[in-house]
A = this chain, B = another copy of it.
Amino acid sequence: MSDFGPVQTRSPVLTVRRVDAYYAITIVAPQVAERFRSGQFISVAVGGDQSSMLLRRPFAIHDVKPDYGGTVEFLFSVRGQGTAWLAERRSRDLLDVVGPLGRPFPLPRDPVNCVLAGGGSGSAVLFPLAQSLRRRGCRVDFVIGAASADRVFSAITARRAAATATFTTDDGSFGLRGRLTDALGQVIEDARSDVVYACGPMPMLREVTAIAGVYGIPVQVSVEEAMACGTGICMSCVIPVVGEDGITRMARSCVDGPVFRGERVRFDDIGTIPFDALGAPGWKAQSGEGGVADREAG
């Protein structure tokens, strides 16, 4: 309907590749490719026409290419039945895809120094971001963390795309032993980073945000909440986020995010309705102004 919004397509699978612990699927989806901005994701129907799996599975867009009018690649590890089904796709199969979805990463106007921190499959979303940033003349440094060597994401690409690439694994099987957040501070210092971009599990994002705070630099986090619709209609993916007006709202990760300013996300209150959130039980007493509510999340 719109030239900017997401589209729904039946896209043929071009290739399915195995990359260490991950699968990479490339689909032909010109309309998605053309609209894509880094940080956005797609959602894929799984299990075929008579699937018992009602919900789509969201995946970060890892790469878009101009081939065949526009291809889109996403990477995933097999986690449950949906990803198991995806891993069995072959080329020429059709996938029912909706995208691109979500708010993209905001890009800096000036050629600043950017550190990109990705945990596990959360790194996927940072590769197209690195490209966009470099096109704007930004310096890019990667910090990539994973449980083990086979879960480290595209090490070679990361090295190629960035000024430096630092790797951490929990078991020390690749790069530094330890967590991504153990290494991040040093990278920020060495690279004189001006901004952090991060994607990964919620506890990691919280720590990354804290570290950025220590260095007084802004941080953009991309969250991976469970999503029923991905299009903003179901309200299942909410987290408490502080608005520009200082008011906390239950914001939808799928359309108000998945990218948020790290400082705005109330990490400690995720899984709760903070007492001071707009519309929380007992909230009524505090409000007064009429205009306030107008900007709430949904």
Show the binding face of A for B, using Cβ within 8 Å.
46-53, 81, 85
Question: Which of A46, A47, A50, A53 has its CB near the most chain B CB atoms (within 10 A)?
Answer: A50
Least Cβ–Cβ distance between A133 and chain B, in angstroms: 39
Q: What is the CA–CA distance of A146 and B81 in the complex, to the nearest angstrom? A: 42
Question: Which of A46, A49, A53, A85 has its CB near the most chain B CB atoms (within 10 A)?
Answer: A49
Question: Who on chain B is nearest to A49 by CB?
Answer: B81
Q: What is the CA–CA distance of A49 and B46 in the complex, to the nearest angstrom? A: 12
Chain B positions within 8 Å of A49 at CB level: 81, 85
Question: Who on chain B is nearest to A54 by CB?
Answer: B52
Q: What is the CA–CA distance of A46 and B47 in the complex, to the nearest angstrom? A: 12
Q: Is the interface of A mostly helix, strand, loop or mixed?
A: loop
Least Cβ–Cβ distance between A53 and chain B, in angstroms: 5
Chain B positions within 8 Å of A47 at CB level: 48, 50-51
Chain B positions within 8 Å of A46 at CB level: 50
Least Cβ–Cβ distance between A185 and chain B, in angstroms: 44
Q: What is the CA–CA distance of A51 and B52 in the complex, to the nearest angstrom? A: 5
Chain B positions within 8 Å of A52 at CB level: 50-52
Q: What is the CA–CA distance of A178 and B257 in the complex, to the nearest angstrom? A: 67
Question: Who on chain B is nearest to A90 by CB?
Answer: B90
Least Cβ–Cβ distance between A13 and chain B, in angstroms: 15
Chain B positions within 8 Å of A50 at CB level: 46-47, 51-53, 81, 85
Least Cβ–Cβ distance between A114 and chain B, in angstroms: 41
Least Cβ–Cβ distance between A165 and chain B, in angstroms: 38
Which are the 8 A-B pairs with shortest beta-carbon distances?
Answer: A52-B52, A47-B50, A50-B81, A50-B52, A50-B53, A50-B51, A51-B52, A50-B85
Least Cβ–Cβ distance between A137 and chain B, in angstroms: 47
Chain B positions within 8 Å of A48 at CB level: 47-48, 85
16 contacts between A and B (CB under 8 A): A46-B50, A47-B48, A47-B50, A47-B51, A48-B48, A48-B85, A49-B81, A49-B85, A50-B51, A50-B52, A50-B53, A50-B81, A50-B85, A51-B51, A51-B52, A52-B52
Least Cβ–Cβ distance between A16 and chain B, in angstroms: 16
Q: What is the CA–CA distance of A221 and B146 in the complex, to the nearest angstrom? A: 65
Q: What is the CA–CA distance of A241 and B278 in the complex, to the nearest angstrom? A: 69
Q: What is the CA–CA distance of A39 and B50 in the complex, to the nearest angstrom? A: 31
Question: Who on chain B is nearest to A53 by CB?
Answer: B50
Q: What is the CA–CA distance of A48 and B85 in the complex, to the nearest angstrom? A: 9
Least Cβ–Cβ distance between A62 and chain B, in angstroms: 25
Least Cβ–Cβ distance between A209 and chain B, in angstroms: 37
Q: A49-B81, A50-B81, A51-B52 are in contact. List 6 more A-B contacts (CB 8 A).
A: A46-B50, A48-B85, A49-B85, A50-B52, A50-B53, A50-B85
Chain B positions within 8 Å of A85 at CB level: 48-50
Least Cβ–Cβ distance between A59 and chain B, in angstroms: 18
